[in-house]
Amino acid sequence: MRLLRTIALDPSDRFVFDVAAEPGEWAVSGAFRFCDQDPAKLGGKARSAFRSGFLGVQSWGWSTLAQIVPASENDCRALVELLAQQLVEQFGAPDPATAHLAAEEEVAFAQSLCAHPVSTLIAVHRSANDGEVRESFRRLRLREGQRHGKAFSFMEVEDDLEPDSDLNIANIGAEPSRR
């Protein structure tokens, strides 16, 4: 079994997000955190979290990248329990049973992103059109013989789902232009 953990190749997440996830936390997509917000009205760091953040389940913070790691059944159960608890405490889930079902779905979705080799990095890009949130994921592979190191020295990008040709990492937190 494989799951996602947050990873920090540099300190940029501390500047990009209001709360940065700690490296090594269990991670899920976290798109649900924006279900009661209008993405078009998000600004600054909240907009960055919406557009490109994986949710660190322990800290309730954000990470730009998640890494595929091996996990046991016990790890998966513990992740579901922790996420369910966070959904009640942090997100106001109506009861533990509802939170547990939602946590199981989130963890199952995170597992579906782990079809690639262990140590593969995953990046997310979210957009909203006509009230619908769309997520696309990219996998970042190490070049042959390399280990994780500096963020821009080793990656090959492979698009897994409908790439967003307008994605510009340098401007990911910038406000949209008004025309």
pLDDT confidence of residue 111: 97
Q: How far is CA 121 from each of CA 13, 93, 148, 167, 171, rounded to the nearest angstrom?
A: 15, 30, 10, 17, 21
Q: Domain coordinates of the chain in residue numbers?
A: 2-121
- For residue range 32-45, list pLDDT tens digits in order: 999 888 888 999 99
* Least confident interval from 21-30, 48-57, 62-71, 132-141: 132-141
Helix ranges restricted to H, the chain: 13-16, 44-52, 73-89, 96-112
Cα 90 versus chain centre, distance: 17
Residue 121: DSSP 8-state: E
Task: Assign 140 a pLDDT band (cuts: 50, 70, 90).
Answer: confident
Sequence-ordered list of residues with C-beta below 8 angstroms from that of 124, at least 6 positions apart, any chain: 29, 52, 53, 54, 66, 135, 136, 137, 138
Q: Is the pLDDT of residue 169 over 90?
A: no
Task: Assign 69 a pLDDT band (cuts: 50, 70, 90).
Answer: very high
Q: How far is CA 4 from each of CA 74, 92, 117, 139, rounded to the nearest angstrom?
A: 15, 24, 12, 12
Q: Which uninterrupted H or E stretch holds 12?
A: none
Q: Is the pLDDT of residue 115 over 80?
A: yes
Q: Is the pLDDT of residue 157 over 60?
A: no
pTM beyond 0.75: the answer is: yes
Amino acid (1-letter code) at residue 67 = Q
Mean pLDDT of the chain: 84
pLDDT confidence of residue 97: 96
